[in-house]
Amino acid sequence: MRGVRIHAWAFGTGVLCLAGANWLTGGSWWSFWPIALWSVALALHYFVRKAGTVSERWAEERAADLHSKSYDAHHIDRIAGRHDGKTGEPPANP
């Protein structure tokens, strides 16, 4: 994630420079499009990098963490128990 951090710092500095140049030159807001395109590039960089760090183990740990913090974990467990594939019948009313 070091590369993304460097990209974010460069983005922040670049945005300040572009906005400052736009302010000094006056006129219309010409720096909007370079900033918008750079924002998309930074977002893509972050998402691609973040997606590369996701593993099956991480997903299982995250799902277990969310399940344990869920206010209706008991309800989710009951539904999972009814749909474990033992029969094709619809679940009984609670």
Domain ranges of the chain: 2-52, 56-83
Write out the H or E segment, with its range, that includes residue 58.
helix 56-69
Q: What angle do CA 61, 62, 64 make, to 5 degrees?
A: 65
Alpha carbon separation from 8 to 3, 20, 39, 59 (Å, rounded): 9, 18, 9, 26
Looking at residue 68, what is its pLDDT?
A: 76
CA–CA distance, 1 with 3 (Å, rounded to integer)? 5
Looking at residue 38, what is its pLDDT?
A: 94
Q: Is the alpha carbon torsion for 3, 7, 8, 13 positive or negative?
A: positive
The whole-model pTM stands at 0.56
Looking at residue 41, what is its pLDDT?
A: 94
Token pair belonging to 93: 């009313």
Residue by residue, pLDDT tens for the chain (94 residues) are: 788 899 899 999 999 999 999 999 887 888 899 999 999 999 999 999 888 777 888 888 888 888 777 766 677 777 777 776 554 455 555 5
Looking at residue 39, what is its pLDDT?
A: 94
